[in-house]
Each structure stands twice: as C-alpha cells, then as structure tokens.
Structure 1
C-alpha cells in the first residue's frame, strides 16, 4: 500500500533578501508575492496527491522562526470563510500561510539592522515536528501503529539568503540529526555551501535558483514526488558539492584549514593552543605548518573535495585514542 507522505517546508522570509530579489535590474526578478503564488500551487499539489498527506510550513524570519501552517494542528481561528467555489483544504492552506506571513512581516517593521535569518531554528523545529508525528508512543495511543500509515518525511528548504558562516556548527548539527533519522532534505535556493552539504548528506536534491520565473515548474518536477517514487525517477541533482567548512576562530569559510587532532576543531591558521579543548601544540609543529601554508590568493571554490581529505597528517579515529599535541593540515 502506498504510504502517506509528510512535507515540511521552510521558507526564507528575509525582507532584505526579498527586496534584492525583486529588483528590476535582476535578469529574472522574483517578488515575494509571485513567489507565494507559485509556492501555494505547489503546496496544494502535495495535498492533492494523496488524502493522507500531511504538511507543515515554517517561516525563517530575522531573529526567529515560526510555524505558519500545520495540517495536523488546525485552529478554529484559521478556518477561512466557506466558499462553495473553492476546495476547502486548498483555501485553508492559501489563506493561513499568506495571513501568517503578512502578520509576521508587519510585526518586524523597519529595523536599523536586520538580524540574521533564523534558518537553523526552522530546520530544528521541522525535525522535532517530524519526529513527533512519525513516532507515536504506544503508551499514549494504546495500539501499535500500522506500518502502512507511517509518514514518509522530507524537508524542503526554500532559501534566498547567502551562507551565514557563524551558523556553520548549528546547521551541521541539525543536518547530522536529519541524516541519522533518515529524513531527506531538499534545497532550492542560491549558491550556498552549507545547504549543498545538507542535501548531499541526507540523499536529497540541491537545485540552484537560476531561473526564478520557473520556480513552480522546478518545484513540481524536482520536489513533488515522494521518496519512494524518487527511487525510480531520474531526479535532477547537484553533481558537484562544495565541502568547505567554516573555521571555529573567525567563522570564515576556508579552502585550507588546520584541524585539532584531539577535538577536530577547524582553524584558518595554526594556533599554539586549541581554543576549544585547550590542547597545546608543539612549537616545531606550528613552525612546520606555518611553513607549509600556501601563498595568499583570491578565494577559490574547492568543489568536489571532501572535508575528510587530509594532507600530511592522519586524523584520529573514533575507536582509538586521540593523538595528543598535534594539529593536522586540512586542504
């Protein structure tokens, strides 16, 4: 029997980035109004695919993340006026999502300095929501859940913001949690390093936002099919993944990093003492690593080179004792 499918959608609602996206100087401008009309058509298509399908929409706003819509937690205040000419589930999604987004954007107002978009918080809430609806406790329900009714969960991230290097550790922690729980993350947005890795690590898809006027077509072709159907479909994927990381000292994305052999922290330059675990490194090691540092050149993307590829050093394995007083050169 075909399983029901759950879709968690995370929408980037940064006012600054959407203002830039709507500029007429762009080759393919996309305003938030046009984006919402195409997004709602995609959400309605997901609901129409199967009656048991569930949906939740989270908004990543500056400094906070909120739930915009949930098909399993409908409130009486969210019920739209009855209209004989519209399908009620579609009307409910459209009116609730648009109203909540407009309310949140109006509440933000004009800020002198816009805080970063809380994408990590939205991803974390999506993981918690999926875990709650897919793992019902038998002590609460009293009966075992039928395996054919279990949801097939996936997360879709729609982003317009660039990478925020300071969120590297939180976003990777969230992605590793999704990977461990076998939740598929799909990303549609600009050229971002961390979201590329998120889609790759969870066996999802990353689609670069190039033709913004073809948003709905890309959403339906690439993200509408549930995971069990995607196994037999030729779904577009990103061939090259940028595996660069952000250093722990300055939160910059680095091409060449130096890894502490004790706690695996990444630094953009050799340090005498690890700022994370306080391990002290030998002077000779620091001199050798400083001498091996490449000349300063414009930053270039190291595409397709996994983070675990090390040069002139061996990283400690989790089953062995860490090598003390050592820092590895990461390229």
Structure 2
C-alpha cells in the first residue's frame, strides 16, 4: 500500500481546555491511540506532531529525546512515539503564558514546511511519490480574526502543494477559517458532538488517507461559512467591499486601499455608501 504522511497540529490553549468537559489528561491517551493506529497501518507511514501554544508553536515529534526503557509488553515504535509526545508536551506547557493568543498559524506553517522538506523532488512522477501528505488540525479555540490573512496564505500554499487539510473542532463554536481550509483543500471538517466518542471520530473520519476516502463515506460539510475578515479592523464581515486592484477586503468603503494604495473616485465612494444596508 502507498505510504501516507500525517502532520498533526494540536491546539493546546490552556484557557480553552480549562473550560472543556474533556480534560487534557482524558484527551491525550485517545490521541496517542490514534497516532499509533496511523503508524501501524503500514510500515512506510510517517508522522509529525506540532503543538500550537500561547505565543509559540513547537514540534513534539519527531524530536530529540532520551532513550526509552525497553518494555517486553509494548511495541517499541509505539512506546517511543508516546514517550516523545508526552515528554515534550509536558516540557512546553506553560500556564503563565496562557493569556497570549494561540499560535495555530505558526504550527500550521511549520507543518507545511516540514512536509515540503520531506517530500520528493518535483521531478519525481506523482505515481512514484512515497507520501500522501495531509494535515489534521485538532482545535479548541475560536477563530482569531487577526490571523485571517496568514491562515488563508497557508491554505493556498497547501492547495499548491496538494496537501489535504482536515480539521476537528473538539469544542467551542464552529470555526469559519478551518471550515474553509478543509473545503478548499479537499479535506474533512468535523465538529465533535460527543466528546466521549473522540477516538471513534478520529479513527473513522481522519485515519483513512485521502486516496482511500474515495470509497468511504467520510463526513462532509452541509453548510460552509465563507465569510472573510476585513483587512482594516480584522472583523469577520457578512458584506465586504473589495479593492478592484489587489482584492483586499474592507468592512466599509475607503478612499485609498491600505494594501496597494489605489485611490478610488469620490463618485464610487458615494455610490457604495448609499448602497450599504442600514445598521441593525
């Protein structure tokens, strides 16, 4: 069977985990079973785990760790994977920095760079490539409107590299940006209705690689929120005004585009202001 690469981006925002009905201690064993299942599918499968923490993003696996004590009752690759993820996660969690925004985009960008580094060269025929790369984002945080531009840049990079982005919102509100990421890259977006069935959701929806999903009934999105964040105030808007030159989005008509400095005629501004719906 063809090898598959999975890069996992794990949202570890302490402020949101504290409000959840699923503790991190309950979540981690189920996550490790899922990661072990991916490694066990075929010996050629590869795995990387990235953590999005307040103000920083780090790589949890593969990472340099000390030797793992042998255990006759455990498969060595599983034991090494579990030990590395847990040890690095414990070392990086910092409750003091919990107020800073979670660096989800930073972790996603690192995952893209890692996949680019381990992927075969462009001269390799697509039929001979050893990996079927995908990224799975496990999120607990709501959308951060200020990250709209960088996360869309990451999505477009994944599209160009033919990387599938899957997303699972474990709790909290649906995330507009992750819905769009999954839709635009051909991945699956799942809002977790039952936290006690997390492992079943992960294995049924996200364990099969993209090539296998063509013959499976993978969860699909009935409704996708395509709203964008304005470039001026970073608010998610229902109705936006788009620069005709650089396609920047604004929540109100502006005389000069702040991105490309294009100036718009006064008549156009008056017409657009007149067509705006009245405030609620």
Q: TM-score range by the shorter chain?
A: over 0.9
Q: CA deviation at 1:222?
A: 0.2
| Conserved? CA contact 2:30–2:198, under 8 Å | yes
Distance 2:125 2:91 in 1: 38
Q: CA deviation at 1:149?
A: 5.7
- Note the 1:233-312 alignment, pairs <5 A: 233-297=216-280
Partner residue in 2 for 1:130: 115
Q: Matched residue of 2:242: which SS? A: strand
Q: CA deviation at 1:238?
A: 1.0
- Note the 1:101-250 alignment, pairs <5 A: 101-105=89-93, 108-111=94-97, 114-136=99-121, 148=128, 150-189=130-169, 190=172, 191-250=174-233
Distance 1:149 1:207 in 2: 28
| Conserved? CA contact 2:229–2:237, under 8 Å | yes
Partner residue in 2 for 1:42: 34
Partner residue in 2 for 1:91: 79
| Conserved? CA contact 1:78–1:92, under 8 Å | no
| Conserved? CA contact 1:155–1:184, under 8 Å | yes
Instruction: Tell me how large the CA RMSD over aligned residues is.
Output: 1.7
Q: CA deviation at 1:210?
A: 2.0
State whether structure 2 residue 58 is matched by structure 1 residue 66: yes
Cα distance 1:146–1:164, how it changes in 2: closer, same or farther (>3 A)?
Answer: closer
The count of corresponding residues between Structure 1 and Structure 2 is: 277
Q: Matched residue of 2:274: which SS? A: helix
Q: Residue by residue, what CA displacement relative to the aligned partner does 1:93-134 show, whole Å, maximum 9, x if unpaired? A: 1111111111111xx2424x7111111111111111111111
Cα distance 1:145–1:92, how it changes in 2: closer, same or farther (>3 A)?
Answer: farther
Cα distance 1:145–1:182, how it changes in 2: closer, same or farther (>3 A)?
Answer: closer
Distance 1:130 1:170 in 2: 18
Q: Matched residue of 1:187: which SS? A: strand
Distance 1:274 1:163 in 2: 25
Structure 1, unpaired ranges of 5+: 22-28, 139-143, 298-331
| Conserved? CA contact 1:5–1:153, under 8 Å | yes
Q: Residue by residue, what CA displacement relative to the aligned partner does 1:114-171 show, whole Å, maximum 9, x if unpaired? A: 1111111111111111111112589xxxxx7995461111100000000000000000
Structure whose CA Rg is larger? 1
Normalising by structure 1, what TM-score?
Answer: 0.80
Distance 1:58 1:222 in 2: 20
| Conserved? CA contact 1:14–1:161, under 8 Å | yes
Cα distance 1:279–1:53, how it changes in 2: closer, same or farther (>3 A)?
Answer: same
Cα distance 1:137–1:268, how it changes in 2: closer, same or farther (>3 A)?
Answer: closer
Normalising by structure 2, what TM-score?
Answer: 0.95
